[in-house]
Copies of this chain bind each other. A is one copy, B any other.
Amino acid sequence: MKFTPKDKDYINKVRESFSKQKFMDYLHARLVKTEPGFCEIHIPYDENITQQNGFFHAGIVGTVADNAAGYAAFSLMDKDSSILTVEFKLNLISPADGELLIGRSNVLKYGKTLTICRSDVFIVKDGVEKLCAASQSTLIELQNKSDEKK
């Protein structure tokens, strides 16, 4: 699907918001690609973010899926809007056993108030990508309420 972002400078808007998320910094997450209605985020392996088997924790898998969805949606929104996740549903498909976690999300429907995204999460092990999770999210656009620190 092809989308036209309301804010021509959407890439900087997304980058700026991403850079304000301290948790992304903490995870050494990188915003790798932003297109109208699409976003890709990478999180490198770190022992600190693992579960009992030494794989990426499901909470981190959810984080990359949710954040990719949020920025895929945010890329289309007004300059003066902020965004919140309403809800997301995540299926964990394979163990997140590898050196890099990749979240890619596409907007399925950009609505006046609500936006629906689908995200795929891939685990990269020895350079090979494998689908490890899939999610579907609902996001809400809050108009005239730009995205700022409290």
A53 touching B149 in the complex, CB below 8 Å, given contacts A66-B58, A85-B58, A136-B91? yes
How far is B55's CA from A101's CA once the two chains are assembled, in angstroms? 24
Q: Which residues of B contact A26 (CB under 8 A)?
A: 48-49
State the number of copies, please.
4
Q: B93 contacts A90, CB within 8 Å?
A: no
Count of chain A residues with a beta carbon within 8 Å of a chain B beta carbon: 55
A48-89, CB under 8 A of B: which get 1 and which 0?
Answer: 111111110111101110110010000000000000111111
Q: Does A134 contact B (CB under 8 A)?
A: yes
- Point out residues on A near B: beta carbons under 8 Å: 17, 20-23, 25-26, 47-55, 57-60, 62-64, 66-67, 70, 84-94, 97, 108-109, 111, 113-114, 116, 118, 131, 134-136, 138, 140, 147-150
